[in-house]
Amino acid sequence: MRPSHSGGTGMKETRCWKKTAQRFRVPVGTVLGVVFLVFMHPSVRSLWIGGAIAVAGGLWRLWAAGYIEKGRVLAQGGPYALSRNPLYLGSFVMALGVILAGQGYWLLPLFLAFFLVFYLPVMRAEEGDLYRAHGERFLGYARRVPLFFPRWSGSRGDGSAFLWSRVVQNREHRNSASLLLVLAILVGRLLLERYL
């Protein structure tokens, strides 16, 4: 479980990619999102189903943002008692919901590849940062709570409370606004295809 600190060439290349993935995951994801939107053709049914999934992901991110104080405290309450990366899990569910809402099913393998190539290395890099900052406390947390997919039983939080001030401080309202904009674009696209 302890992050590796060996200095071989392979490790250096891995660390280099982790840093590159951290830097470019958002811009690359944004470009892919715009390209994906071009190829989507929603229906009323797909908008309801995919939209509900995307909103669930957005609410999960809001919940997580209310618990985290980035760079200062090891978050273990709320969704952090279920997953070590609830913000990324929320992003995953949001994007999956948008793809389903737009009936872009053939884009799912591309999305999954992007997530694995960019977000898995970022999660690993951030684990190293958390280990350096919190040491054995982080290792104990990592033993109890899975990296990504939540474990719904057997894990207890640290008793910390959700705060809306943290949601604002973490600028999560921007992600929520972006999700609403994307869903509005899909609704607009459906209306244009139906009535023009």
The pLDDT score that the predictor gives to residue 3 is 54
The answer to whether position 190 is within a domain reads yes
Q: Tell me the residue range of the domain where 145 lies.
A: 55-195
Q: pLDDT tens digits for 25-78?
A: 777 878 888 888 888 999 999 999 999 999 999 999 999 999 998 878 899 999
In a domain, 75, yes or no: yes
What is the token pair recorded at 53?
């999934």
Mean pLDDT value of segment 1-22: 61
6 pLDDT band, cuts 50/70/90, is: very low
Please state the domain count of the chain. Answer: 1
Closest CA to 177 of 94, 81, 71: 94
In a domain, 18, yes or no: no
pLDDT the model gives residue 21: 72
For the whole prediction, is pTM greater than 0.95? no
pLDDT tens for 134-183 read 999 999 999 999 999 998 876 666 778 899 999 999 999 999 999 999 99
- The answer to whether position 129 is within a domain reads yes
pLDDT in tens, 68-122: 988 788 999 999 999 999 999 999 999 999 999 999 999 999 999 999 988 999 9
CA separation, residue 12 to residues 17, 106, 140 (Å) = 9, 35, 27
Chain mean pLDDT for the chain: 87
Q: Is residue 6 part of a domain?
A: no
Rounded to an integer, what distance in angstroms lies between the CA atom of residue 90 and that of residue 193?
Answer: 30
Question: Two tokens at 186?
Answer: 């899909």
pLDDT at 2: 54
pLDDT classification of 8: cutoffs 50, 70, 90: low
Domain membership of residue 99 (yes or no) is yes
Does residue 19 form part of some domain?
Answer: no
pLDDT tens for 28-42 read: 878 888 888 888 999
Whole-number pLDDT of residue 11: 58
- Cα 158 to its chain centre, rounded Å, is 22
Task: From 80, 59, 65, 84, select the one nearest 158 (Cα to Cα).
Answer: 80
CA angle, 168 then 171 then 173, to 5°: 80
